[in-house]
Amino acid sequence: MVMENGKILEVKDLAVSYKVYEGILKVLRNVSFYVLKGEKIGIIGESGCGKTTSMKSIMRILPTNALLEGGEIYYKGKNILKISKKEMTYLRRHSISMIFQDPSTALNPVFKIGPQIYDIVKYSSDRRLTKSEIHELAISYLKQAALPEPERILDSYPFQLSGGMKQRVNIAMSLASANDLLIADEPGTSLDVTIEDQIMRLLKSIVEEKHLSIILISHALGTVRGFVDRIYVMYAGTIVEYGPTKSIFSNPLHPYTRLLIESVPKLMGKKIPEGIPGVVPSYLNPPLGCRFSTRCPFKMDICEREMPQVYEAEDGHFVACHLFRKEGS
Ligand SMILES: Nc1ncnc2c1ncn2[C@@H]1O[C@H](COP(=O)(O)OP(=O)(O)O)[C@@H](O)[C@H]1O
Ligand SMILES: [Mg+2]
């Protein structure tokens, strides 16, 4: 398979809306991003900005009221929006895997963990495995996910496990199928802070050991900072800034990114974060121009009229904001 410039995944101009009773929610617009082979990227942004929608588009698991209105998603050079269901299933079993915020999402409450993980192990293998091979593999994935007493876990129902353990089971399951790309959508958000920290460290060690590419979505900016190579900042269904992690944190350019980073509780000093004033605009009738214009402290006239282009402000660091418009453009 062809791999353009070492990009394992490239999303181009994705546009996704949702049909709801009130009308059409125009959520994702011009969403473009890429992941290199073995690269770790992060996506940050307030809740409701379209992060999960973007990931579900990649996995092709959008709900039925979603409307794919444009864009292409290349995975290993193939547009996965065009491949057959069968090919997509193959990718989900062998190549790409997604971990969700709520660790219960991917587990069936009425079955024990054993049969659920066996199924995944069985279908993710290219050859027919014996029962004992399946069992051994399941145990080894549970061990890699740092679960103590794997035999007991296999014999448990999801409700008998804590949230942190369930998330580790999900990670174990994704180990069977994520041979190339792992999508972790706020994997620790629903857990205690200390457990979240453990889950993140586990993910990081697995990703590095297996040389996986990862898209990490997290509100924990400190964790993202120590984890990923590059960051995309999403606001109201658009990418407003992206670049190397270091530049994003040391020199945030978009007013939204600056406010987002400032609103994170500082470890030093007891400053209480205030959050960003205002709310994400309604997707029924989003602003014509920059979607952040309704909250931006630096808003100019043009911001309300025109969506900003993407400008390269420094090496590999891009921003979609009229403040960075170059002379003559
Ligand atoms: N199933 C759905 N039906 C209708 N609207 C949805 C659905 N899922 C998400 N949305 C809309 O899309 C917006 C973005 O949601 P989401 O992608 O989950 O954002 P994030 O993951 O950044 O919090 C939400 O604010 C909501 O308005
Ligand atoms: Mg989400």
Condensed to tens digits (0 to 9), the pLDDT of residues 163-201 reads 999 999 999 999 989 899 999 999 988 888 888 888 999
Lowest-confidence segment of 3-12, 14-23, 136-145 by average pLDDT? 3-12
Residue 25 near ligand 1, beta carbon < 6 Å: yes
Q: Using the predicted structure, report yes or no on whether residue 235 has a pLDDT greater than 90.
A: yes
Ligand whose nearest atom lies closest to the CA of 186: 2
Name 100's Cβ contacts closer than 8 Å, sequence gap at least 6.
Answer: 106, 170, 185, 187
Q: Which residues pair with 43 in a beta bridge?
A: 217, 232
Count of CB atoms within 10 A of residue 177's CB?
20
Q: Which atom of ligand 1 is nearest to the CA of 19?
A: 4
Q: Using the predicted structure, report yes or no on whether residue 147 has a pLDDT greater than 90.
A: yes
DSSP string, 201-247: HHHHHHHHHTT-EEEEE-S-HHHHHTT-SEEEEEETTEEEEEEEHHH
Specify the residue with its C-alpha closest to ligand 1, atom 16.
50
Q: What is the CB-side half-sphere exposure of residue 262 using CA atoms within 13 A?
A: 13
Q: Which residues pair with 243 in a beta bridge?
A: 231
Domain ranges of the chain: 4-87+218-324
Q: Can you say whether the dihedral through the CA atoms of 153, 154, 160, 162 is positive or negative?
A: positive
User: Do residues 226 and 242 touch, judged by C-beta distance below 8 A?
Assistant: no
Q: Can you say whether the dihedral through the CA atoms of 301, 302, 307, 312 is positive or negative?
A: negative
User: Do residues 295 and 257 touch, judged by C-beta distance below 8 A?
Assistant: no
Strand, coil or helix: 77: coil
Q: Which atom of ligand 1 is nearest to the CA of 186?
A: 21
Ligand whose nearest atom lies closest to the CA of 51: 1
Dihedrals phi, psi of 51, to nearest 5 degrees = -65, -50
Residue 252 near ligand 1, beta carbon < 6 Å: no
Q: Which of 14, 17, 18, 235 should be mutated for ligand 1, with most atoms under 8 A from CB?
A: 18
pLDDT class for 268, splitting at 50, 70, 90?
very low
User: Do residues 104 and 115 touch, judged by C-beta distance below 8 A?
Assistant: no
At residue 91's C-alpha, the angle toward residues 223 and 121, to 5°, is: 80
User: Do residues 195 and 188 touch, judged by C-beta distance below 8 A?
Assistant: yes
User: Do residues 300 and 322 touch, judged by C-beta distance below 8 A?
Assistant: yes
C-alpha 190 – ligand 2 centre gap (Å): 12
Helix (H) or strand (E) holding 248, with range, is helix 245-250
pLDDT class for 265, splitting at 50, 70, 90?
low
Lowest-confidence segment of 48-57, 100-109, 271-280, 302-311 by average pLDDT? 271-280
User: Do residues 232 and 242 touch, judged by C-beta distance below 8 A?
Assistant: yes
C-alpha 222 – ligand 1 centre gap (Å): 25
117-135 in b/e form (b: 16+ CB < 10 A) is bbbbbbebeeeebeeeebb
Class of domain 4-87+218-324: alpha beta
Q: Which residues pair with 42 in a beta bridge?
A: 216, 231
DSSP string, 162-178: -HHHHHHHHHHHHHHH-
Structure letter (DSSP) for residue 108: -
Mean pLDDT for the stretch of residues 228-253:
98
**CB < 8 Å & 24+ apart, contacts of 118-123:** 120/93, 120/173, 120/176, 120/177, 121/176, 123/93
The distance of Cα 78 from the centroid of its chain, to the nearest Å, equals: 20
- Cα–Cα distance between 220 and 101 in angstroms, integer? 13
Q: Using the predicted structure, report yes or no on whether residue 297 has a pLDDT greater than 70.
A: yes
Percent of the chain at pLDDT > 70 equals: 95
